[in-house]
Amino acid sequence: MSEAKQAGSDVPSRADQATDADGAAGDRDVAAEARDDAAKARNLEARGTDAQEAALNRALAVRDRAAAANARGEAAARNRAAADRSAAQERDDTADKSADHHWLDAQDRIADADDRHAAAARADAATDRDHAAQARESRSAVSRATQDHTTRDDAAHDRMASATDRLRAAGDRAASEQDLANAYRDEMTGTLLRDAGRDQLRQTAARVRRSGESLVLAFIDVDGLKQVNDRDGHAAGDVVLAAVGRELLANVRTYDVVVRWGGDEFVCGLAGCTLADAEMRFTALAAALEQITTISVGLTLLEADEDLNQAIGRADRCMYDGRRQRRQ
């Protein structure tokens, strides 16, 4: 076969082409109809879905209204129940208050009755006590009247015994004080012994320093006592010393300190006294003793912060100086 014939046999005929074209158009129409049917189906389905949703919404709305109505009913029921409970509670409270009032009123009446009974009992008890007290007083009056005479006698006896005891006690105290005083005093002259006298002088010195007073210290020596002892015996010398001690105590104040310092030596402390006053006192002392013996006296003032023994030593030296001047 020639190439032309072969080529002619491969080209479709126009009839076939037309047929194919008609078939394609038909297919397109079928496809279009299918699409239309699908669109209609979809529209129908959409309308069906909308209807279903609308029905569902209506059903839900009905359910919600029913639920709301039910809730309103329940709320109304609860409110009515609460109101009923409140009314019942109010009635109960009123009943309780009324009952309490009646109970308290009854208790008050009972308490008033108890108070009246107690008052009556107290009055009776008071009357009984008064009667008992009157009886006791009567018995006591009789007993006192019976005992008065004995009591007065006993009291008088007790007073007498007490007075006697007081007198004895006073005598004992005086004797004790005297014994104590004598224990510190020279038996012959009546003046203080040296140790006790030194203590008294120290106390006096401390006191005048606190008060700012003066203190005159006097050193007294009995002239010629050794010669009296040698010539007339020690008994004669003791008489001289006793006279000097007696006159010393008589010519100074009661609170001045007079000490037997040695065998024939005396020391005196005169607080608040001047040298001039002291010279007058010891001049009077020498005059009182001139029929018995003579004395030598040295006077000095205690200086501030001076040791007592130093001041007594100065008075001793003044005494010797005065004796030497007298003999010259």
Of the candidate ranges 67-81, 109-123, 178-192, the one whose mean pLDDT is the lowest: 109-123
CA distances in angstroms from 163 to 103, 167, 169, 229, listed in the order given: 77, 6, 10, 51
Higher pLDDT, 45 or 129: 129
* CA atoms of 203 and 195, how far apart (whole Å): 13
What pLDDT score does 35 carry?
Answer: 87
* CA atoms of 68 and 87, how far apart (whole Å): 28
Higher pLDDT, 154 or 289: 289
What pLDDT score does 59 carry?
Answer: 75
Residue 5 has pLDDT above 50, yes or no: no
At how many degrees (to 10) do helices 234-251 and 275-289 cross? 140
Q: What is the mean pLDDT of the chain?
A: 80
Question: 269-294: per-residue pLDDT in tens?
Answer: 999 999 999 999 999 999 999 999 99
- DSSP H stretches of helix in 184-262: 194-211, 225-232, 234-251
Question: 44-88: per-residue pLDDT in tens?
Answer: 777 777 777 777 788 787 788 878 777 887 877 788 877 778 777
Higher pLDDT, 255 or 47: 255
Residue 159 has pLDDT above 70, yes or no: yes
pTM, entire model? 0.48
Residue 320 has pLDDT above 80, yes or no: yes
